[in-house]
Amino acid sequence: MKILKISLFTLITSVAILPACYYDNEERLYPSLNNACDTTNVTYSGFVRSFLDGYCISCHSNSTASGSIKLQDYTDVAANADLTLKALNGDGVPLMPMGSSSKLDACKITSFAIWIKKGKLNN
């Protein structure tokens, strides 16, 4: 009887544990990370300015400054970079761009974060 209980316990444990073991690869689990996201040389003029012009400037120019956050020029962007990154991630502030139901592409947000970490250079 004791052997039957041990065998039954082993069988149930095996059935419960084995399906939890699987081997997927990163490319299949996270297809959006497979694209060519080159973050090696993120610059203000080469990435940040065009990124903000494409997603932010329509509401955050000097003439339309929504919520008093201006992103018109380098000085504005550098002063508001940390808050802008929080807004892009929806981290304690409303998710931006306004009206979007999901965050922007992870590569764009990561590139912006890298520019900030590298000192917000005007390059």
In a domain, 99, yes or no: yes
Which strand (E) or helix (H) includes residue 1?
Answer: none
DSSP code, position 45:
I
DSSP code, position 12:
H
The whole-model pTM stands at 0.68
Which bin fits 56, alpha (ψ -120 to 50), beta or left (φ > 0)? alpha
Residue with tokens 């073991």: 21
In a domain, 94, yes or no: yes
* 35 CB burial (10 A radius; 0-12, 13-18, 19+): exposed
| Residue length of the chain | 123
pLDDT at 64: 76
Domain that holds residue 48: 38-123
In a domain, 80, yes or no: yes
pLDDT, tens only, 68-97: 789 999 999 999 999 999 999 999 988 998
